[in-house]
Amino acid sequence: MVSTGFEFAEHLGNTRFHCGIDVHKHQITVAMVGKDDTGLEKVVEQEFATTPEGMSQFWGFTRKYVPMTFSMEATNVYHHTVVTFLEGKKTEATWAYEVIVASPPDVAGIPGRQKNDVADAKALARYAAAGLLKNGHEIIVPLEDIRALFRSAMQVEVDRTRLKNRIKKTLDRGGFRPVGLDFNSNWSRDFVYELTNHEGTIREYFEKCIGASCPIPEHASIVARNKPKFEPFFDVQLSTGQLALVRQDMVELEFKTTRKAMLSVEIDRIIVSRPGLRQRITDISSVPGISPYTAAWLVAEIGNVKRFAGVKPFLAYCGCCPRTLATDKKVYSCHVTRKSNKFIRTMLYNAAMVVSCAVKKESGLKTYATRTVARKRHQGMKLAFMLIAAKMARIIYAILRDGVGFSADLAIPRRPSPKGGAGGCLTVTDKKLLNRARRILGRVGTMEQLRGIADHASYFAKALESVLQENQQVL
């Protein structure tokens, strides 16, 4: 007689499986974790490649367990393929399941976590079954593409700036230092590039450019108008090595400039085919200080604004809220947190500087920026700009949430009007000063040796308290 051992049944109706996935660039480690109502647990692990064939094998392995959740950590861009694959399989699956992409800090904050691929996959499945994980950044393919294009364009601009500085440094070393030579303009780039093919003084090259045999005839008139820039250096002659260095850098600069223009065309091509995306960009670009280019990048970086529970998580993501330190019932504000989107933080800070210093049209936001700069100037302009950036972040959140554009009548700071007393027109500085005076007078009023003075101090302390309470009611 052959005895048969007990085997866990994988297809019992009272068993729910959860799938944990540890994602790498070329492979994924999958752990299926199931537990029945008696507490008996079944764990199955397997590895699959991230090729199309491997993903098909992964689906064939997991669908027989009918998992309720697929959970994984966000891993740069490597989890995008897995998420896209699972979202596409929802139409084919005969059951409903949830795809969870957890933020790595959320998973790392759970105690007792081991560090290896199989343990990670098991832990993710168990965390999802216990309801400890929540979805992080939603993957929207068009916005991901636009964001990648914008970041690539930013890197190209960084490379262009480095090249321009290197060219100017080489020219400076040769003694050719014209003031106001801007390599963002076509004529200046063509002028310097043709200079690298000329062996002689700057005077000879300039006379050639304004003569009949001009190497850049389309820019001859502009070069002639800029003669005062080059006259102080007419006797300068660059060496052969300096000309070679400038020539190589100019070729690379032209390539980077062309690539930046091509990236802009690709971004426009994606945006033009999506009216809803264009509308959001138009709404955000209506905010003073934000250009259409910045608005498009902001929309790509923010994604779906509904993933934020409120305006405070949105401000934290934008890096527009300070860190706080608390000790002995005292709370101190520190520098803004760096655990945020650095691109959004930079764009909002630059927009705050623009609306404070460059925008001339009056609006509620312009009024707020002017008053904030005047109030915080003694503490530092960076603090003022960050407060304005936080205000702009709140406006952007409301625009994306409600689907409306910016109104010049909005964003006006709420200033309570006086209502027959001093309590209705107090600033924050005034209230801090009065609170301090009230506390000091209250302590003086408790000193029995002062007698009459103590009574007067207590009277004024109560009067200040009533003024502060009146001001609070007005607000």
* pLDDT tens per residue across span 338-382: 678 899 999 999 999 999 998 888 888 888 899 988 888 877 888
In a domain, 289, yes or no: no
The residues, ordered by sequence, that sit 6+ positions from 357 with a Cβ below 8 Å of its Cβ are: none
Both 99 and 215 in a single domain? no
Residue 59 sits in a domain of what CATH number? 3.30.420.10
The residues, ordered by sequence, that sit 6+ positions from 239 with a Cβ below 8 Å of its Cβ are: 174
- Dump the DSSP string for 58-90: HHHHHGGG--SEEEEE--TTTHHHHHHHHHHGG
Query: Can you tell me the mean pLDDT for 77-104?
Result: 89
Both 147 and 266 in a single domain? yes
User: What predicted TM-score, i.e. pTM, was given to this entire model?
Assistant: 0.64
Both 192 and 220 in a single domain? yes
Is 146:296 a contact under the CB 8 Å cutoff? yes
Find the domain containing 208 and state its range: 143-272
- Dump the DSSP string for 101-169: EE-HHHHHTSSS---SHHHHHHHHHHHHHTT-----S---HHHHHHHHHHHHHHHHHHHHHHHHHHHHH
Q: What token pair was written down for 154?
A: 């930013």
> Is 422 in a helix, a strand, or coil?
helix
Q: What whole-number distance in Å separates Cα of residue 380 and Cα of residue 315?
A: 21
In a domain, 408, yes or no: no
pLDDT value for 413: 52
Cα-based angle 360, 362, 363 (whole degrees, multiple of 5): 130
Between 224 and 117, name the one with better pLDDT: 224
Residue 200 sits in a domain of what CATH number? 1.10.287
Tens of pLDDT along 274-297?
888 899 999 999 999 999 999 999
For residue 449, name the pLDDT band (cuts at 50, 70, 90). Answer: confident
Both 125 and 181 in a single domain? no
Beta bridge partners of 17: 34
Count of structural domains, the chain:
4
Both 148 and 77 in a single domain? no
Sheet-wide strand order for 16-23: 41-49, 27-35, 16-23, 69-73, 98-102
Both 79 and 123 in a single domain? yes
Q: What whole-number distance in Å separates Cα of residue 277 and Cα of residue 119?
A: 41
Q: What token pair was written down for 215?
A: 């190497």
In a domain, 294, yes or no: no
Tens of pLDDT along 125-184?
888 888 888 777 778 888 889 999 999 999 999 999 999 999 999 998 888 988 888 888
Both 312 and 268 in a single domain? no
Residue with tokens 């008053």: 371
pLDDT value for 431: 77
Is 234:204 a contact under the CB 8 Å cutoff? no
Both 122 and 153 in a single domain? no
Both 148 and 268 in a single domain? yes
Between 381-402 and 364-376, two packed helices, what is the crossing angle to 10 degrees? 150
* Residue from 135, 127, 130 nearest 110 by CA: 127
Residue where one domain finishes, among candidates 62, 95, 129? 129
Indicate the average pLDDT of the chain.
83
In a domain, 435, yes or no: yes
Residue with tokens 């760096």: 338
pLDDT value for 329: 60
Beta bridge partners of 69: 98
Q: What whole-number distance in Å separates Cα of residue 333 and Cα of residue 320?
A: 13
> Considering the chain, what percentage of its residues have pLDDT values greater than 70?
85
Both 327 and 213 in a single domain? no
Beta bridge partners of 47: 29
Q: What whole-number distance in Å separates Cα of residue 167 and Cα of residue 242?
A: 9
- On the CB side of 141, how many CA atoms lie within 13 Å of its CA? 7
